[in-house]
Amino acid sequence: MAMGEAKSPEGIAAFLVALALAVLPLRAPAATVMIWPIDPVIGEGRGGTELWLENRGAADVVLQIRVMRWTQEAGSDVHSDQDEVLASPPMVKVGPGVRQLVRLVAGEPLPRDRERAYRIIVDEIPAVADRPEEMQTATALRFRMRYSIPLFVAPEKGKDKREPAMPQVSCRLIDQGRTVQLANSGSMHARLADAVLDAGQETVPIAPGLLGYVLAGSTMEWAVPGKPATTGALRAKVNGDAKQVALGACKPI
């Protein structure tokens, strides 16, 4: 889709289901902001992409948009400041029923040997200022709602330019079988859902619905519910697949 063209917000019911999985409000108040797409990607050979914000409420909203570098270290997500991908504009006031385009632009060519991951943080700020730019000089900001949306910069394809980037996930059981450790040696992320561990005569659900992400070249860990597992094979839906796929045996260490 060309820069500046709006993706149609038709099919709102399907959108809201996906939004519940990928856009995570961090506080309880009802959201008034619709965000799409929920899975933006800066494709191979592209210098940016776009994000649309729509105010579904009855009053103005002031939104601050930041892009954070997303890495995974020691089995945890890490978000850090960066200047590789920028949001333009970084702050907007959006009236009721209005849609606002935000461009996500790579400031300079990025290495494409492996997918790069970011998080778009959209904070809804009480509209105490007449102009959005006045909010940038405020000494303290109070957030009403925060949304976190994944953003990926696609890697280059294989040398023959036909081989797509893929996740390559392997599994181990650690902490005496109380934890599943997943390592992704592939060149793109793995988004895992409905993960189960086939442990002998028993099938152990690791998490219903979205389990989480394992970024390219990263390792993540999740607890095994119930009693520790001594062996098992992991199955999960990967990157939106409708059916679970086998991710291989989980070797105990």
Q: pLDDT (tens digit, 9 = 90+) per residue, 216-251?
A: 999 999 999 998 988 899 999 999 999 999 999 998
Q: Where would I find the beta strands (DSSP E) of the chain?
A: 33-36, 41-42, 48-55, 61-73, 76-80, 85-88, 91-94, 99-106, 116-125, 145-153, 169-174, 179-184, 190-199, 202-214, 218-223, 233-238, 245-252
The total of other beta-carbon atoms located within 10 Å of residue 116's CB is: 23
- What pLDDT shows up at residue 251? 84
Residues 6+ apart with CB under 8 A from 179: 173, 221, 222, 223, 224
Q: What is the C-alpha separation between 136 and 155, in angstroms, rounded?
A: 34
Secondary structure (DSSP) of 122-150: EEEE---SSSHHHHTT-S----SEEEEEE
Q: What is the C-alpha separation between 189 and 237, in angstroms, rounded?
A: 13
Q: What are phi and psi of 119, to 5 degrees?
A: -125, 130
Q: How confident is the model at residue 128 (pLDDT cuts 50, 70, 90)?
A: low
The total of other beta-carbon atoms located within 10 Å of residue 40's CB is: 21
The structural domains of the chain, ordered by start, are 33-129+143-153 (2.60.40.10), 169-252 (2.60.40)
What is the side-by-side strand order in the sheet with 233-238?
Answer: 202-214, 190-199, 233-238, 245-252, 169-174, 179-184, 218-223
The pLDDT tens digits for 69-120 are 999 998 999 999 999 999 999 999 999 999 999 999 998 777 777 899 999 9
The pLDDT tens digits for 2-49 are 333 444 444 443 444 344 444 444 444 567 899 999 999 999 889 999
Q: Please return the burial class of 32, using the count of CB atoms within 10 Å of its CB with bins 0-12, 13-18 and 19+.
A: middle
Q: What is the C-alpha separation between 252 and 175, in angstroms, rounded?
A: 9
pLDDT at 139 over 70: no
